[in-house]
Amino acid sequence: MRLSSRGGVVLLHEKKILVTGVITEKSIAFAAAALAQQQGAEVVLSGFGRGLRITRQVAQRLPQPADVLELDLTEPAHLAAAAADLQGRWGRLDGVLHAAAYAPPDALDGGFLTAGWADVASAVHVSTYSFVALARTCAPLLKAAGGGSVVGLDFAGDQVWPGYDWMGVAKSGLESCCRYLAHALGPQGTRVNLVAAGPLRTVAATAIKSFDDLVRAWHERAPLAWDETDAEPVGRAVCALWSGWLPAVTGEVLHVDGGAHAVGADPVAARAAGAAPGQPA
């Protein structure tokens, strides 16, 4: 961290950051990567499979074109290869963003009671366990940086959202993993936190048929209002957690959702929508 030539603070001066999950410019991961570069960080992205080519294209649209590693977070060999690359490239990591989530269609949109274990296992592996796998793999590199910061992306894992089904369960597990990782990696100085964003129109959102219902709920409840097309506020929170400004914050779920998480059903909005008294809109 240092002062810029204009007297402002550069939050991420010379920090080395790994960002997973960049598929489009509308993603939280892209917003975080772009803001990190603007705040002085050097960034590497990751992608895999059919999306790797897309990630490489999107990486060229950052303020500074970034390198892209091939990294499937569910493949131990990919994780080991990425760690070896980053060790040779930088010798350390100051920040990591886990921006990976997936649930098969049968595990969403009413599939909670009918989804088989194979679909549930896939959702948990990608959306929950891979967070631990990535942090564990990067731990030596983070330690070399004096501890560093691991950030994951969450969504209201403490409530039921119709249609979210097994992804909601996976996010609840993610929150628990965050706490356990904070405990496990704290002794080496590594901070582990989640950012719980409100609903954004990302690639992941297109998989949820009830997404528009989520957006309506946010428009009704968020005291600060909510723009489902703007990922920058969430990206800013990620960068703040990567920075040195929050040195004693770990195991936390930071809500960046316009305040909707703090507000129950709005009776005025419910009446306007024609709901019965006492019923959520």
In three-state secondary structure terms, 247 is coil
Note whether residue 281 is domain-resident: no
Catalytic positions are 164, 171
Closest-CA residue to 255 (of 221, 278, 206, 204)? 221
- Give backbone dihedrals phi and psi of 258, rounded to 5 degrees, phi first: 70, 10
User: Could you tell me which residues are beta bridge partners of residue 96?
Assistant: 18, 150
Q: Based on the structure, what is the number of domains in the chain?
A: 1
Note whether residue 48 is domain-resident: yes
Closest-CA residue to 168 (of 115, 225, 221, 237)? 115
Contact 126, 168 (CB under 8 A): no
Q: Residues 3, 185, 122, CA angle at the centre, nearest 5°?
A: 105
Note whether residue 89 is domain-resident: yes
pLDDT at 176: 97
CA-to-CA distance for 25 and 273, rounded, in angstroms? Answer: 34
Tokens of 203: 């690639």
Contact 22, 29 (CB under 8 A): yes
Q: What is the CATH number of the domain that holds 7?
A: 3.40.50.720
pLDDT at 149: 98
pTM reported for the whole predicted model: 0.90
- Domain containing residue 186: 2-272
Q: Provide the residue-wise pLDDT of the chain in tens; the chain has 281 residues.
A: 554 545 467 899 999 999 999 999 999 999 999 999 999 999 999 999 999 999 999 999 999 999 999 999 999 999 999 999 999 999 999 999 999 999 999 999 999 999 999 999 999 999 999 999 999 999 999 999 999 999 999 997 788 888 899 999 999 999 999 999 999 999 999 999 999 998 898 777 766 777 888 888 889 999 999 999 999 999 999 999 999 999 999 999 999 999 999 997 654 444 444 443 333 33
CA-to-CA distance for 97 and 19, rounded, in angstroms? Answer: 5
CA-to-CA distance for 247 and 262, rounded, in angstroms? Answer: 25
- Give backbone dihedrals phi and psi of 278, rounded to 5 degrees, phi first: 85, -5
Note whether residue 99 is domain-resident: yes
pLDDT at 136: 98
Note whether residue 77 is domain-resident: yes
Note whether residue 76 is domain-resident: yes
Note whether residue 277 is domain-resident: no
Tokens of 279: 């019923």
Note whether residue 197 is domain-resident: yes
